[in-house]
């Protein structure tokens, strides 16, 4: 068993996507299987919640967003091997910065556009003013 981590000797960092290998191949496959199982579970829940009448309807969008974020976390941990360990600090910090920018772009756009939409004069009045 060897990947970049061991080739790098006692490096203090781990490349993103590399796993800190301790067990054999079997343990690593079990790790990926765990991720796959959790991802299937969360996806199935998402599709079930989207089409069901069993839950309070206004809660569905919130539930879907929460399930999606949870599944992204599962993918990051089990497939991309992003951990909280000291050998992953750089990877986590880069990810945190990316998440911040993604949040700013999404929330900022929605906020500004909703505000503009709210303050815009109704279309028929706008047409009258242009006459």
Partner 1 sequence: MTDTTMAYSHGDPQLRSMAGAIAHSGPAPKRIVTGYGFWIFILSDMVMFSAFFATYAVLGGQTAGGPSGHELFDLHNVAIETGFLLASSFTCGLATIAADTRNAIWFQLAMAVTCVLGLGFLAIEGNEFASLVMRGAGPTRSAFLSAFFTLVGCHGLHVSAGILWLLTMMAQVTAKGFRADILRRILCFALFWHALDIIWIAVFTVVYLLGSAA
User: Which residues of the shown chain bind partner 1 in the complex (CB under 8 A)?
Assistant: 1-4, 7-8, 11, 13-18, 21, 25, 28-29, 32-33, 35-36, 39-40, 43, 46-47, 50-51, 60-61, 64-65, 67-68, 71-72, 75-76, 79-80, 90-91, 94-95, 97-98, 101-102, 105-106, 108-110, 113
Give dist(CA 91, CA 84) in Å, integer: 10
CB 18, min distance to partner 1, A: 7
Name the helix (H) or strand (E) containing 9.
none
Shorter beta-carbon distance to partner 1: residue 10 or 131: 10
CA 27 to chain centroid: 25
CB 125, min distance to partner 1, A: 20
CB 131, min distance to partner 1, A: 24
Q: Are the C-beta atoms of 53 and 81 separated by less than 8 Å? A: no
Tell which phi-psi region holds residue 24, choosing left (phi > 0), alpha (psi between -120 and 50) or beta: beta
Q: Are the C-beta atoms of 50 and 60 separated by less than 8 Å? A: yes
CB 67, min distance to partner 1, A: 7
């Amino acid at each position: 068993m060897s990947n970049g981590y061991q080739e790098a000797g006692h490096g203090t960092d781990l490349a993103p996507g590399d796993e800190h290998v301790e067990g054999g191949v079997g343990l690593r496959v079990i790790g990926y299987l765990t991720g796959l199982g959790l991802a299937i579970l969360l996806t199935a829940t998402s599709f079930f919640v989207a089409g069901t009448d069993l839950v309070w309807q206004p809660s569905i969008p919130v539930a879907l967003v929460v399930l999606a974020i949870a599944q992204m976390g599962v993918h990051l941990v089990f497939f991309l091997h992003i951990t909280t360990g000291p050998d992953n600090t750089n990877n986590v910090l880069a990810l945190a910065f990316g998440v911040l920018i993604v949040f700013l772009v999404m929330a900022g756009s929605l906020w500004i556009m909703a505000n503009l939409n709210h303050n815009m004069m109704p279309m028929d009045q706008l047409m009258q003013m242009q006459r």
